[in-house]
Structure 1
Amino acid sequence: MEQRVRLRVRVTGVVQGVGFRPFVYGLATRLGLAGFVGNDVHGVFAEIEGAVTAVERFVHALEAEPPPLAAVDEVHSTVVPVRAEPGFRIVESTDAGHRDTLIAADSATCADCLAELADPTDRRFGYAFTNCTNCGPRFTIVTGIPYDRPSTTMAGFALCPRCAREYHDPADRRFHAQPVCCPDCGPRLRLVDAAGQESGADPVAGAAALLREGGVLAVKGLGGYHLATDARAERACAALRSRKHREDKAFAVMVADVDAARELCRLERAEEPVLTSRRRPIVLLPRRPDAVVAASVAPRNRELGVMLPYTPLHHLLLGIFGGPIVLTSGNVSDEPIAYRDEDAIERLAPIADGFLMHDRPIHTRTDDSVVRPDPTGRGAECVIRRSRGYVPEPLRVAAGFPRAVLACGAELKNTFCLAQGSRAFISHHIGDLENLETLRSFTEGIEQFGRLFEITPEVVAFDLHPEYLSTKHARTLNGLATVGVQHHHAHIASCLADNERTESVIGVAFDGTGFGTDGTIWGGEFLLADLLGFDRAGLLSPVPMPGGAAAIRHPWRMALAHLDAAFDGAVPEKLGLHDRHEQEWDAVLTMLRRGFNSPRTSSAGRLFDAVAAILGVRDSVHYEGQAAVELEQLADRREHDAYPVTIGTAEPFQLDTGGLIRAVTEDHLSGTPVEVSAARFHHGLASAIASGCALIRERTGHETVALSGGVFANTLLTGACLHRLREQGFTVLTQARVPCNDGGISFGQAVIAGARDRAGTLAPTP
Structure 2
Amino acid sequence: MNLFANPSARKILLSGQVQGVGFRPFIYRLAIAHKLVGWVRNSLGIVEIQVQGQSQNLENFLADIFAKKPPLAKPKLESNQQVELAKFDTFTILPSLAQGEAQISVPVDLFLCDDCLAELNNPLDRRYHYPFINCTQCGPRYTLIRRLPYDRPNTSMATFTLCPSCLAEYQDPGNRRFHAEPVACPVCGPSLTFRMNDTVKNDNHASNALDALRHGKVVAVKGIGGYHLMCDATNSEAISRLRRNKPRPHKPLAVMFPAPLDKPYAEVSLSENDKAFLLQAARPILLVAKSENSELSEQIAPGLNEVGVMLPYSPLHHLLLNEFGGPLVATSANISGEPVLIDNQEIEKRLIYMADAFLHHNRPIERPADDPVYRTIAGKPRPIRIGRGSAPMELSLPFELKQPVLAVGAQMKNVITLAWKNRAVISPHIGEMGTVRSLDVFENTIKDFYKLYEVKAELIICDAHPGYTTTRWAHKQNLPVHPVYHHHAHASAAYYECETNETVIVFTWDGVGYGEDGKLWGGETFLGQPGKWQRVASMRPFKLPGGDKAGREPWRSAAALCWELGLACPVVPAGTKLLHSAWQQQINAPMTTSVGRLFDAAAALTGVCSQASFEGQGPMYLEACCKEAGEMVELPLTLNNEGLWVSDWAPLVQRLLDSAYTQTAQASMIHISMANLIAKQAKCIRKQENVNKVALSGGVFQNRVLTEIAVAMLEQAGFIVTIPAKIPVNDAGISFGQVIEFGFKGR
TM-score of the superposition, structure 2-length normalised?
Answer: 0.96
**Residue of structure 1 in register with 2:171 after alignment:** 168
Q: Would the aligned equivalents of 1:133 and 1:177 in 2 still touch at CA under 8 Å? A: yes
Query: How far apart, in 1, do the equivalents of 2:24 and 2:519 lie?
Result: 56
Whether 2:739 is the aligned partner of 1:750: answer yes
Q: Is the 8 A contact 2:194 2:358 kept in 1?
A: yes
Residues 1:451 and 2:431 are matched in the alignment: no
Which SS does the other structure have where 1:613 is aligned?
helix
- 1:400 counterpart SS class: coil
| Deviation of the 1:685 alpha carbon | 0.3
In the alignment, residue 703 of structure 2 is paired with which amino acid?
A: N
In 1, distance between residues paired with 2:107 and 2:450?
A: 16
Distance across 1 between alignment mates of 2:651 and 2:81: 67
Q: Pick the aligned partner of 1:704 from 693, 699, 723.
A: 693
After TM superposition, give the deviation of residue 261 of structure 1 in Å: 8.0
Distance in 2 separating the partners of 1:117 and 1:42: 31
Residue 561 of structure 2 corresponds to residue 569 of structure 1? no
C-alpha distance in 1 between matches for 2:726 and 2:203: 44
1:46 positional shift: 1.3
Q: For residues 685 and 534 of structure 2, what CA distance do their matches in structure 1 show? A: 12
Rounded to whole Å, the distance in 2 between the matches of 1:223 and 1:656 is 46
| Closer, same or farther: CA 261–25 of 1 in aligned 2, 3 Å | farther
Q: d(CA) in 2 for partners of 1:308 and 1:74?
A: 34
1:17 equivalent to 2:20? Answer: yes
Matched residues in 2 for 1:692 and 1:113: separation? 54
Residues in 2 aligned to 1:399 and 1:284: alpha-carbon distance in whole angstroms = 35
Q: Is the deviation greater in 49-58 or in 686-695?
A: 49-58
Between 333-342 and 416-425, the greater mean CA deviation after superposition:
333-342
- 1:519 is matched with which residue? 518
Deviations 1:534-590 (A, max 9, x none): 12111011111011122222111211211233xx3133x7xx425xx2332x33333
Offset of 1:334 from its aligned partner? 2.7
Is residue 2:650 matched to residue 1:658? yes
Deviation at 1:3, TM superposition (A): 6.6
Aligned match of 2:131 in 107, 128, 132? 128
Q: Does 1:620 align with 2:608?
A: no
Say whether 1:392 aligns with 2:384.
no
Distance 2:86 2:408 in 1: 51
Following superposition, the deviation at residue 177 of structure 1 comes to 1.0
Question: How far apart in 2 are the matches of 1:369 and 1:182?
Answer: 29
Which of the residues 102, 107, 111 maps onto 1:104? 107
Equivalent residue in structure 2 for 1:611, among 602, 610, 618: 602
- The SS at the match of 1:140 is coil
CA 1:381–1:551: 2 relative to 1, 3 Å: closer
Q: Aligned to 2:228, which of 226, 229, 235?
A: 226
**Partner letter of residue 278 of structure 2?**
L
- CA offset at residue 104 of structure 1? 0.7
Report whether the alignment pairs 1:641 with 2:640: no
Residue type matched to 1:237 in 2?
A: I
Deviations 1:515-542, CA, capped at 9 Å, x for gaps: 1111110000011242213121110111
Confirm or deny: 8 A CA contact 2:96 2:149 kept in the other structure: no
Residue aligned with 2:307, SS: strand
CA gap of 1:639–1:73, structure 2 versus 1, over 3 A, is farther
Following superposition, the deviation at residue 399 of structure 1 comes to 1.5
Tell whether 2:585 aligns with 1:594. yes
**Per-residue deviation, 1:260:** 4.8
State whether structure 2 residue 212 is matched by structure 1 residue 210. Answer: yes
Are the structure 2 counterparts of residues 570 and 16 from structure 1 closer, same or farther at C-alpha, using a change threshold of 3 Å? closer
Name 1:683's counterpart in structure 2: 672
Return closer, same or farther for 1:551/1:17 CA change in 2, 3 Å cut-off: closer
User: Helix, strand or coil: the match of 2:449?
Assistant: helix
C-alpha distance after superposition, 1:586-638 (max 9, x if no partner): 333333233222111000100000111110000111001110111111112x5
The reply on whether 1:693 has 2:682 as its aligned counterpart is yes
1:441–1:162 CA distance, 2 compared to 1 (3 A): same
Q: Which residue does 2:482 correspond to in 1?
A: 483
Q: Quick one: which amino acid aligns to residue 246 of structure 1?
A: R
CA contact (8 A) 1:99 1:453 kept: yes
- Per-residue deviation at 1:39? 1.6
The DSSP-based 3-state class of the residue aligned with 2:575 is: helix
SS at match of 1:162: helix
Are 1:223 and 1:366, in contact at CA under 8 Å, matched by a contact in 2? yes
Amino acid of the structure 2 residue aligned with 1:477: Q
Structure-2 separation of matches of 1:683 and 1:750: 34
Task: Pick closer, same or farther for the CA change 1:57–1:263 going to 2, 3 Å.
Answer: farther
Work out which of the residue numbers 617, 620, 640 in structure 2 matches 1:629.
Answer: 620
Q: Deviations over 1:495-518 (max 9, x none)?
A: 122344454321110000101111
For the structure 1 residues 261 and 255, does the alpha-carbon distance in structure 2 shift closer, same or farther, using more than 3 Å as the test? farther
Q: How many Å separate the matches in 2 of 1:356 and 1:663?
A: 53
| SS of the residue 2:397 aligns to | strand
Cross-structure match for 2:249: 247
CA–CA distance in 2 between the matches of 1:503 and 1:33? 48
SS in 2 for 1:270: helix
Q: d(CA) in 1 for partners of 2:405 and 2:534?
A: 24
Cα offset for 1:50?
3.7
Matches within 5 A, 1:17-166: 17-74=20-77, 76-81=79-84, 85-166=88-169
| Contact 1:38–1:44 (Cα < 8 Å) also in 2 | yes
SS in 1 for 2:230: strand
Q: Residues 106-163 of structure 1, C-alpha deviation per residue, up to 9 Å, x if partnerless? A: 0000011111111111110110000111000000011122221121111111111111
Residue in structure 2 matched with residue 429 of structure 1 by the alignment: 429
Q: Deviations over 1:446-493 (max 9, x none)?
A: 011111001111121000100100001111111x33211000000011
Q: Secondary structure at the match of 1:337?
A: coil
Q: What's the CA shift for 1:53?
A: 4.2
Report how far residue 265 of structure 1 moved: 1.6
Q: CA deviation at 1:5?
A: 4.4
What's the Cα RMSD here? 1.8
Q: Tell me the amino acid that sits aligned with residue 427 of structure 2.
A: S
Which residue identity lines up with residue 466 of structure 2 in the other structure?
A: P
Distance 1:86 1:112, change over 3 A: same
Kept in 2: contact 1:506–1:706 (CA 8 A)? yes
CA distance in 1: counterparts of 2:354 and 2:116, whole angstroms: 33
Secondary structure of 2:266's counterpart equals helix
TM-aligned CA distance change 1:322 to 1:227, over 3 Å = same
Name the CA distance, whole Å, in 2 between partners of 1:104 and 1:6.
30
Report whether the alignment pairs 1:300 with 2:303: yes
Indicate the residue corresponding to 1:673 in structure 2.
Answer: 662
* Maintained 8 Å contact 1:489/1:529: no
Instruction: State percent identity of aligned pairs.
Output: 38
Distance 1:85 1:548 in 2: 72
Q: Normalising by structure 1, what TM-score? A: 0.94
Aligned to 2:716: 727
AA in 2 matched with 1:657 = W
| Partners of 2:19 and 2:45 within 8 A in 1 | no
Residues 702 and 2 (structure 1), Cα distance of their counterparts in 2 relative to 1, 3 Å cut: farther
Residue aligning to 2:705: 716
Contact 2:338–2:430 (CA under 8 A) maintained in structure 1: no
| Aligned amino acid, residue 635 of structure 2 | V
Is the CA contact (8 Å cut-off) linking 2:521 and 2:594 kept in structure 1? yes
Deviations 1:409-434 (A, max 9, x none): 00000011100122111111110000
Structure 1 gaps of 5+ residues are 760-766
Cα pair 1:194 1:345 within 8 Å, conserved: no
Contact 1:403/1:754 (<8 A) preserved: no
Which range is displaced more, 7-16 or 214-223?
A: 7-16
Contact 1:502 1:531 in 2 (8 A): no
Partner in structure 2 of residue 764 of structure 1: none
2:430–2:441 Cα contact (<8 Å) kept: yes
**Structure 2 CA distance for aligned equivalents of residues 642 and 2 of structure 1:** 78
Whole-angstrom CA distance in 2 between matches of 1:401 and 1:288: 49
- How many Å separate the matches in 1 of 2:222 and 2:195? 12
Q: Give, in whole Å, the separation in 2 of the partners of 1:621 and 1:42.
A: 46
